[in-house]
Chain A
Protein backbone atom coordinates (compact mmCIF):
# COMPACT_ATOMS: atom_id res chain seq x y z
CA UNK A 1 0.00 0.00 0.00
CA UNK A 2 2.82 2.35 0.91
CA UNK A 3 4.48 1.60 -2.42
CA UNK A 4 1.33 2.48 -4.38
CA UNK A 5 0.95 5.63 -2.35
CA UNK A 6 4.55 6.65 -3.10
CA UNK A 7 4.18 5.99 -6.84
CA UNK A 8 0.90 7.88 -7.18
CA UNK A 9 2.19 10.75 -5.05
CA UNK A 10 5.34 10.90 -7.14
CA UNK A 11 3.38 11.04 -10.40
CA UNK A 12 1.09 13.73 -9.01
CA UNK A 13 4.00 15.88 -7.85
CA UNK A 14 5.81 15.50 -11.19
CA UNK A 15 2.69 16.47 -13.16
CA UNK A 16 2.00 19.39 -10.85
CA UNK A 17 5.57 20.64 -11.23
CA UNK A 18 5.36 20.12 -15.00
CA UNK A 19 2.15 22.17 -15.34
CA UNK A 20 3.49 24.90 -13.06
CA UNK A 21 6.78 25.04 -14.94
CA UNK A 22 4.99 25.37 -18.28
CA UNK A 23 2.84 28.18 -17.04
CA UNK A 24 5.51 30.16 -15.21
CA UNK A 25 8.62 29.21 -17.22
CA UNK A 26 10.75 30.37 -14.29
CA UNK A 27 9.71 33.98 -14.72
CA UNK A 28 8.08 36.10 -12.03
CA UNK A 29 4.48 36.88 -12.96
CA UNK A 30 4.03 40.55 -12.15
CA UNK A 31 0.87 42.57 -11.97
CA UNK A 32 0.42 45.65 -14.15
CA UNK A 33 2.56 48.55 -12.90
CA UNK A 34 2.38 52.32 -13.13
CA UNK A 35 3.48 52.90 -16.76
CA UNK A 36 6.15 55.45 -15.90
CA UNK A 37 7.50 56.60 -12.55
CA UNK A 38 10.49 58.87 -13.08
CA UNK A 39 11.54 62.13 -14.74
CA UNK A 40 14.16 62.18 -17.48
CA UNK A 41 17.36 64.05 -16.66
CA UNK A 42 18.92 63.98 -20.13
CA UNK A 43 17.65 64.97 -23.55
CA UNK A 44 18.32 64.38 -27.23
CA UNK A 45 21.31 66.43 -28.46
CA UNK A 46 23.19 66.28 -25.14
CA UNK A 47 26.37 64.35 -24.60
CA UNK A 48 25.40 61.16 -22.78
CA UNK A 49 26.63 61.06 -19.16
CA UNK A 50 29.61 58.76 -18.97
CA UNK A 51 29.67 55.77 -16.64
CA UNK A 52 31.56 52.59 -15.89
CA UNK A 53 29.66 49.50 -14.75
CA UNK A 54 30.60 45.87 -14.18
CA UNK A 55 29.34 43.38 -16.74
CA UNK A 56 28.36 39.77 -16.19
CA UNK A 57 31.44 38.61 -18.09
CA UNK A 58 33.69 40.17 -15.43
CA UNK A 59 34.75 43.32 -17.29
CA UNK A 60 34.18 46.94 -16.40
CA UNK A 61 32.40 48.62 -19.31
CA UNK A 62 32.82 52.36 -19.86
CA UNK A 63 30.42 54.18 -22.17
CA UNK A 64 33.07 56.60 -23.46
CA UNK A 65 35.15 53.59 -24.50
CA UNK A 66 32.87 53.32 -27.53
CA UNK A 67 33.45 56.96 -28.54
CA UNK A 68 34.63 57.17 -32.14
CA UNK A 69 34.16 53.43 -32.63
CA UNK A 70 30.52 52.39 -32.28
CA UNK A 71 27.08 53.84 -31.79
CA UNK A 72 25.55 52.56 -28.55
CA UNK A 73 21.98 51.55 -27.72
CA UNK A 74 21.45 51.46 -23.96
CA UNK A 75 18.53 49.23 -23.02
CA UNK A 76 17.43 49.76 -19.43
CA UNK A 77 14.93 47.17 -18.21
CA UNK A 78 13.20 47.13 -14.82
CA UNK A 79 14.47 43.91 -13.29
CA UNK A 80 15.84 40.44 -13.87
CA UNK A 81 13.27 37.62 -14.03
CA UNK A 82 10.43 39.99 -14.86
CA UNK A 83 8.21 38.72 -17.71
CA UNK A 84 8.44 41.53 -20.27
CA UNK A 85 12.15 42.04 -19.59
CA UNK A 86 12.81 38.34 -20.13
CA UNK A 87 11.01 38.59 -23.47
CA UNK A 88 12.66 41.78 -24.58
CA UNK A 89 16.31 40.80 -24.25
CA UNK A 90 15.76 37.23 -25.44
CA UNK A 91 14.22 38.72 -28.57
CA UNK A 92 17.24 40.92 -29.26
CA UNK A 93 19.49 37.87 -29.51
CA UNK A 94 18.38 36.78 -33.01
CA UNK A 95 18.15 40.44 -34.04
CA UNK A 96 21.75 41.36 -33.20
CA UNK A 97 22.54 41.43 -36.92
CA UNK A 98 20.24 44.45 -37.23
CA UNK A 99 22.30 46.33 -34.63
CA UNK A 100 25.53 45.34 -36.40
CA UNK A 101 24.11 46.62 -39.68
CA UNK A 102 23.93 50.09 -38.11
CA UNK A 103 27.32 49.74 -36.37
CA UNK A 104 25.58 49.90 -33.02
CA UNK A 105 26.55 48.13 -29.82
CA UNK A 106 23.55 47.07 -27.77
CA UNK A 107 24.16 47.25 -24.01
CA UNK A 108 21.68 46.02 -21.41
CA UNK A 109 21.49 47.57 -17.94
CA UNK A 110 19.44 46.70 -14.87
CA UNK A 111 19.75 47.59 -11.19
CA UNK A 112 20.17 43.93 -10.22
CA UNK A 113 23.40 42.56 -8.81
CA UNK A 114 25.78 40.49 -10.92
CA UNK A 115 24.82 37.04 -9.57
CA UNK A 116 21.12 37.67 -10.29
CA UNK A 117 21.88 39.03 -13.77
CA UNK A 118 24.21 36.18 -14.52
CA UNK A 119 21.66 33.52 -13.49
CA UNK A 120 18.88 35.26 -15.42
CA UNK A 121 20.75 35.64 -18.68
CA UNK A 122 22.05 32.07 -18.40
CA UNK A 123 18.43 30.95 -17.99
CA UNK A 124 17.72 32.71 -21.30
CA UNK A 125 20.58 30.82 -22.95
CA UNK A 126 22.73 33.97 -23.02
CA UNK A 127 21.77 37.18 -24.77
CA UNK A 128 24.82 37.92 -26.93
CA UNK A 129 25.43 41.52 -25.79
CA UNK A 130 27.02 43.14 -22.71
CA UNK A 131 24.78 43.12 -19.65
CA UNK A 132 25.74 45.61 -16.95
CA UNK A 133 24.85 45.79 -13.28
CA UNK A 134 23.82 49.20 -11.92
CA UNK A 135 23.37 47.70 -8.49
CA UNK A 136 25.68 49.79 -6.30
CA UNK A 137 25.45 52.64 -5.58
CA UNK A 138 21.96 51.42 -6.25
CA UNK A 139 20.70 52.58 -9.65
CA UNK A 140 23.18 55.46 -9.84
CA UNK A 141 23.40 55.41 -13.64
CA UNK A 142 19.63 54.99 -14.02
CA UNK A 143 19.21 57.95 -11.65
CA UNK A 144 21.72 60.06 -13.65
CA UNK A 145 19.71 59.41 -16.83
CA UNK A 146 16.41 59.95 -15.02
CA UNK A 147 15.00 56.45 -15.39
CA UNK A 148 15.15 55.20 -11.79
CA UNK A 149 11.64 54.52 -10.53
CA UNK A 150 10.52 55.26 -6.99
CA UNK A 151 10.44 51.55 -6.19
CA UNK A 152 14.16 51.22 -7.01
CA UNK A 153 13.74 49.48 -10.37
CA UNK A 154 14.60 51.07 -13.70
CA UNK A 155 12.23 52.15 -16.41
CA UNK A 156 11.99 50.24 -19.66
CA UNK A 157 13.98 52.77 -21.67
CA UNK A 158 16.16 53.06 -24.73
CA UNK A 159 18.91 55.63 -25.32
CA UNK A 160 20.61 55.70 -28.71
CA UNK A 161 24.02 57.37 -28.56
CA UNK A 162 26.08 58.16 -31.65
CA UNK A 163 29.82 57.72 -32.12
CA UNK A 164 30.43 61.25 -30.82
CA UNK A 165 28.70 60.35 -27.58
CA UNK A 166 25.62 62.45 -28.35
CA UNK A 167 22.16 61.16 -27.47
CA UNK A 168 20.15 60.80 -30.69
CA UNK A 169 17.01 59.06 -29.45
CA UNK A 170 15.30 58.48 -26.12
CA UNK A 171 12.18 56.49 -25.44
CA UNK A 172 10.86 55.63 -22.02
CA UNK A 173 8.19 53.01 -22.62
CA UNK A 174 5.22 51.94 -20.60
CA UNK A 175 6.94 49.53 -18.22
CA UNK A 176 4.28 46.90 -18.94
CA UNK A 177 4.95 46.86 -22.69
CA UNK A 178 7.80 45.81 -24.91
CA UNK A 179 9.33 48.27 -27.39
CA UNK A 180 8.65 47.45 -31.04
CA UNK A 181 11.80 46.34 -32.86
CA UNK A 182 10.63 48.50 -35.77
CA UNK A 183 11.10 51.68 -33.67
CA UNK A 184 14.67 50.70 -32.84
CA UNK A 185 15.61 49.95 -36.44
CA UNK A 186 13.97 53.16 -37.66
CA UNK A 187 15.97 55.26 -35.19
CA UNK A 188 19.26 53.50 -35.95
CA UNK A 189 18.57 54.27 -39.61
CA UNK A 190 18.59 58.01 -38.77
CA UNK A 191 22.09 57.94 -37.27
CA UNK A 192 24.73 60.14 -38.95
CA UNK A 193 26.39 58.39 -41.86
CA UNK A 194 23.39 56.12 -42.45
Chain B
Protein backbone atom coordinates (compact mmCIF):
# COMPACT_ATOMS: atom_id res chain seq x y z
CA UNK B 1 0.00 0.00 0.00
CA UNK B 2 2.88 2.34 0.81
CA UNK B 3 3.96 2.06 -2.86
CA UNK B 4 0.57 2.97 -4.21
CA UNK B 5 -0.09 5.94 -1.91
CA UNK B 6 2.09 8.48 -3.77
CA UNK B 7 0.43 7.51 -7.04
CA UNK B 8 -3.04 8.01 -5.59
CA UNK B 9 -1.96 11.39 -4.21
CA UNK B 10 -0.65 12.37 -7.66
CA UNK B 11 -3.87 11.20 -9.26
CA UNK B 12 -5.94 13.31 -6.86
CA UNK B 13 -3.76 16.36 -7.48
CA UNK B 14 -4.08 15.98 -11.23
CA UNK B 15 -7.85 15.56 -11.03
CA UNK B 16 -8.17 18.57 -8.76
CA UNK B 17 -6.19 20.73 -11.22
CA UNK B 18 -8.38 19.63 -14.12
CA UNK B 19 -11.62 20.43 -12.31
CA UNK B 20 -10.49 23.34 -10.15
CA UNK B 21 -12.89 25.86 -11.66
CA UNK B 22 -16.28 24.20 -11.29
CA UNK B 23 -18.20 25.61 -8.31
CA UNK B 24 -15.98 28.67 -7.88
CA UNK B 25 -17.20 32.28 -7.91
CA UNK B 26 -16.78 33.80 -11.37
CA UNK B 27 -15.69 37.41 -11.94
CA UNK B 28 -18.27 39.84 -13.29
CA UNK B 29 -16.34 40.64 -16.45
CA UNK B 30 -16.85 43.90 -18.31
CA UNK B 31 -17.67 43.05 -21.92
CA UNK B 32 -15.95 45.43 -24.33
CA UNK B 33 -16.49 46.00 -28.01
CA UNK B 34 -19.08 46.61 -30.67
CA UNK B 35 -22.14 44.37 -31.06
CA UNK B 36 -24.84 44.42 -33.73
CA UNK B 37 -28.31 45.37 -32.45
CA UNK B 38 -29.73 41.84 -32.77
CA UNK B 39 -26.96 40.47 -30.56
CA UNK B 40 -27.57 43.12 -27.91
CA UNK B 41 -31.19 42.07 -28.07
CA UNK B 42 -30.21 38.40 -27.76
CA UNK B 43 -28.30 39.20 -24.56
CA UNK B 44 -30.87 41.71 -23.33
CA UNK B 45 -28.19 44.30 -22.56
CA UNK B 46 -28.53 48.08 -22.70
CA UNK B 47 -25.50 49.33 -20.79
CA UNK B 48 -22.35 50.11 -22.68
CA UNK B 49 -20.15 48.29 -21.94
CA UNK B 50 -22.29 45.63 -20.29
CA UNK B 51 -21.05 43.23 -17.64
CA UNK B 52 -21.66 39.50 -17.54
CA UNK B 53 -24.24 39.96 -14.80
CA UNK B 54 -26.22 42.32 -17.06
CA UNK B 55 -27.02 39.50 -19.44
CA UNK B 56 -30.65 38.49 -18.98
CA UNK B 57 -30.35 34.77 -18.48
CA UNK B 58 -29.73 32.11 -15.87
CA UNK B 59 -26.59 30.66 -17.45
CA UNK B 60 -23.88 32.03 -19.72
CA UNK B 61 -21.71 29.77 -21.83
CA UNK B 62 -18.42 31.60 -22.42
CA UNK B 63 -15.69 30.72 -24.86
CA UNK B 64 -12.33 32.38 -24.23
CA UNK B 65 -10.58 32.36 -27.60
CA UNK B 66 -8.09 34.25 -29.69
CA UNK B 67 -8.34 34.73 -33.44
CA UNK B 68 -4.63 33.90 -33.77
CA UNK B 69 -5.03 30.50 -32.07
CA UNK B 70 -5.16 27.75 -34.67
CA UNK B 71 -7.27 25.49 -32.41
CA UNK B 72 -9.81 28.32 -32.05
CA UNK B 73 -9.91 28.74 -35.84
CA UNK B 74 -10.46 25.02 -36.37
CA UNK B 75 -13.05 24.90 -33.59
CA UNK B 76 -15.07 27.88 -34.86
CA UNK B 77 -17.58 25.88 -36.98
CA UNK B 78 -18.24 23.50 -34.07
CA UNK B 79 -18.72 26.35 -31.62
CA UNK B 80 -21.17 27.91 -34.09
CA UNK B 81 -23.07 24.63 -34.18
CA UNK B 82 -23.28 24.57 -30.38
CA UNK B 83 -24.84 28.04 -30.48
CA UNK B 84 -27.27 27.02 -33.24
CA UNK B 85 -28.28 23.93 -31.30
CA UNK B 86 -29.00 25.90 -28.13
CA UNK B 87 -30.90 28.54 -30.08
CA UNK B 88 -32.88 26.21 -32.34
CA UNK B 89 -33.91 23.89 -29.51
CA UNK B 90 -35.16 26.70 -27.31
CA UNK B 91 -32.41 26.51 -24.71
CA UNK B 92 -31.24 30.06 -25.36
CA UNK B 93 -33.92 31.48 -23.07
CA UNK B 94 -31.95 29.96 -20.22
CA UNK B 95 -28.42 29.61 -21.63
CA UNK B 96 -26.86 32.51 -23.53
CA UNK B 97 -23.55 32.18 -25.30
CA UNK B 98 -20.76 34.72 -25.66
CA UNK B 99 -17.20 34.69 -26.94
CA UNK B 100 -14.38 36.73 -25.42
CA UNK B 101 -11.44 37.32 -27.77
CA UNK B 102 -8.30 37.50 -25.66
CA UNK B 103 -5.71 39.92 -26.99
CA UNK B 104 -7.72 40.80 -30.08
CA UNK B 105 -8.62 44.25 -31.35
CA UNK B 106 -12.04 45.17 -32.71
CA UNK B 107 -10.67 44.79 -36.24
CA UNK B 108 -9.47 41.26 -35.44
CA UNK B 109 -12.78 40.36 -33.80
CA UNK B 110 -14.70 41.65 -36.83
CA UNK B 111 -12.38 39.70 -39.13
CA UNK B 112 -12.93 36.48 -37.16
CA UNK B 113 -16.71 37.07 -37.01
CA UNK B 114 -16.91 37.48 -40.79
CA UNK B 115 -14.38 34.79 -41.69
CA UNK B 116 -16.13 32.10 -39.66
CA UNK B 117 -19.71 33.49 -39.82
CA UNK B 118 -19.89 33.56 -36.04
CA UNK B 119 -23.54 34.09 -35.01
CA UNK B 120 -23.03 34.76 -31.29
CA UNK B 121 -21.71 37.93 -29.65
CA UNK B 122 -17.90 38.30 -29.61
CA UNK B 123 -16.34 40.76 -27.23
CA UNK B 124 -12.84 42.21 -27.43
CA UNK B 125 -10.32 41.78 -24.65
CA UNK B 126 -7.35 43.47 -26.27
CA UNK B 127 -5.40 43.97 -23.05
CA UNK B 128 -6.14 40.50 -21.69
CA UNK B 129 -8.05 41.88 -18.69
CA UNK B 130 -10.88 39.32 -18.82
CA UNK B 131 -8.47 36.56 -19.86
CA UNK B 132 -6.31 37.11 -16.79
CA UNK B 133 -9.31 37.51 -14.50
CA UNK B 134 -10.50 34.00 -15.33
CA UNK B 135 -7.10 32.39 -14.87
CA UNK B 136 -5.16 32.99 -18.09
CA UNK B 137 -5.58 29.45 -19.34
CA UNK B 138 -4.75 28.30 -22.88
CA UNK B 139 -7.33 28.91 -25.59
CA UNK B 140 -9.94 27.85 -26.39
CA UNK B 141 -11.38 27.52 -22.89
CA UNK B 142 -15.06 27.19 -22.02
CA UNK B 143 -16.97 28.13 -18.90
CA UNK B 144 -20.62 27.73 -18.04
CA UNK B 145 -21.46 30.40 -15.51
CA UNK B 146 -24.59 30.43 -13.40
CA UNK B 147 -26.12 33.79 -12.63
CA UNK B 148 -27.89 33.67 -9.30
CA UNK B 149 -30.92 35.85 -8.58
CA UNK B 150 -28.80 38.21 -6.49
CA UNK B 151 -26.48 38.70 -9.50
CA UNK B 152 -23.72 36.53 -8.06
CA UNK B 153 -21.85 34.51 -10.69
CA UNK B 154 -20.64 30.96 -10.21
CA UNK B 155 -18.70 28.70 -12.55
CA UNK B 156 -20.57 25.40 -12.82
CA UNK B 157 -18.67 23.79 -15.68
CA UNK B 158 -15.41 24.33 -17.50
CA UNK B 159 -13.56 22.72 -20.33
CA UNK B 160 -10.05 23.27 -21.65
CA UNK B 161 -9.25 22.88 -25.31
CA UNK B 162 -11.27 22.45 -28.46
CA UNK B 163 -14.56 20.54 -28.61
CA UNK B 164 -13.79 17.01 -29.73
CA UNK B 165 -17.33 15.66 -29.34
CA UNK B 166 -20.00 18.30 -29.90
CA UNK B 167 -22.93 16.21 -28.68
CA UNK B 168 -21.14 15.23 -25.50
CA UNK B 169 -20.15 18.84 -24.88
CA UNK B 170 -23.72 20.09 -25.36
CA UNK B 171 -25.03 17.39 -23.05
CA UNK B 172 -22.50 18.31 -20.36
CA UNK B 173 -23.44 21.99 -20.65
CA UNK B 174 -27.17 21.29 -20.44
CA UNK B 175 -26.79 18.97 -17.46
CA UNK B 176 -24.69 21.61 -15.70
CA UNK B 177 -27.45 24.13 -16.50
CA UNK B 178 -30.01 21.98 -14.75
CA UNK B 179 -31.55 20.15 -17.65
CA UNK B 180 -31.95 16.41 -17.16
CA UNK B 181 -29.57 14.49 -19.48
Residues of A at under 8 Å CB distance from B? 1, 4-5, 8-9, 11-12, 15-16, 18-19, 22-25, 87-88, 90-91, 93-95, 98, 124-125, 178, 180-182, 185
| Contact string against A for B residues 88-120, beta-carbon threshold 8 Å, 1 for contact and 0 otherwise | 000000000000000101111001000100000
Q: Taking CB as reference atom, which chain B residue is nearest A9? A: B7
Residues of B within 8 A of A94 (CB): 67, 73, 115
Indicate if the CB atoms of A90 and B70 lie closer than 8 Å.
yes
Contact residue among A19, A87, A88 (Cβ-Cβ distance under 8 Å from B14): A19
Nearest Cβ in chain A — how far from B17, in angstroms?
Answer: 6
In the bound complex, how far is the Cα of B9 from the Cα of A111, in angstroms?
44
Cβ-based interface call for B169 (8 A) = no
Indicate if the CB atoms of A8 and B107 lie closer than 8 Å.
no
Q: How many residues of B are in contact with the other chain, CB < 8 A? A: 29
In the bound complex, how far is the Cα of B71 from the Cα of A1, in angstroms?
41
Indicate if the CB atoms of B73 and A93 lie closer than 8 Å.
yes
Indicate if the CB atoms of B7 and A87 lie closer than 8 Å.
no
Cβ-based interface call for B37 (8 A) = no
In the bound complex, how far is the Cα of B3 from the Cα of A98, in angstroms?
59
Q: Which 9 pairs, one residue from A and one from B, show the smallest C-beta to C-beta distance?
A: A91-B68, A182-B107, A87-B68, A15-B14, A90-B70, A12-B11, A22-B160, A180-B105, A12-B10
Nearest Cβ in chain A — how far from B161, in angstroms?
Answer: 5
Indicate if the CB atoms of B138 and A181 lie closer than 8 Å.
no
Indicate if the CB atoms of B111 and A95 lie closer than 8 Å.
yes
Contact residue among B10, B70, B73, B111 (Cβ-Cβ distance under 8 Å from A181): B111
In the bound complex, how far is the Cα of B15 from the Cα of A180, in angstroms?
38
Residues of B within 8 A of A178 (CB): 68, 103
Indicate if the CB atoms of B70 and A124 lie closer than 8 Å.
yes
Nearest Cβ in chain B — how far from A183, in angstroms?
Answer: 9
| Contact string against A for B residues 49-76, beta-carbon threshold 8 Å, 1 for contact and 0 otherwise | 0000000000000000011111101100
Q: Could you list 26 A-B pairs, sorted by A, with CB under 8 Å?
A: A1-B4, A5-B7, A8-B7, A8-B11, A9-B7, A12-B7, A12-B10, A15-B14, A15-B15, A15-B18, A16-B10, A19-B14, A19-B17, A22-B138, A87-B66, A90-B68, A90-B69, A91-B66, A91-B108, A94-B73, A94-B115, A125-B74, A180-B105, A180-B108, A181-B107, A185-B107
By secondary structure, the B interface counts as helix
Residues of A within 8 A of B115 (CB): 94-95
**With A5-B3, A125-B70: A180-B11 Cβ-Cβ less than 8 Å:** no
Give 9 A-B pairs besides A1-B4, A16-B10 with Cβ atoms closer than 8 angstroms: A5-B7, A12-B11, A18-B18, A23-B137, A87-B66, A87-B103, A180-B108, A182-B105, A182-B106
Indicate if the CB atoms of B70 and A5 lie closer than 8 Å.
no
Q: Taking CB as reference atom, which chain B residue is nearest A25? A: B138
Indicate if the CB atoms of B160 and A87 lie closer than 8 Å.
no
In the bound complex, how far is the Cα of B17 from the Cα of A123, in angstroms?
26
Contact residue among A8, A16, A24, A91 (Cβ-Cβ distance under 8 Å from B4): A8
**With A5-B3, A23-B137: A15-B11 Cβ-Cβ less than 8 Å:** yes
Residues of B within 8 A of A18 (CB): 18
B1-21: which residues lie under 8 A (CB-CB) from chain A?
Answer: 3-4, 7-8, 10-11, 14-15, 17-18
Residues of A within 8 A of B17 (CB): 19
Q: Taking CB as reference atom, which chain A residue is nearest B115? A: A94
In the bound complex, how far is the Cα of B160 from the Cα of A178, in angstroms?
23
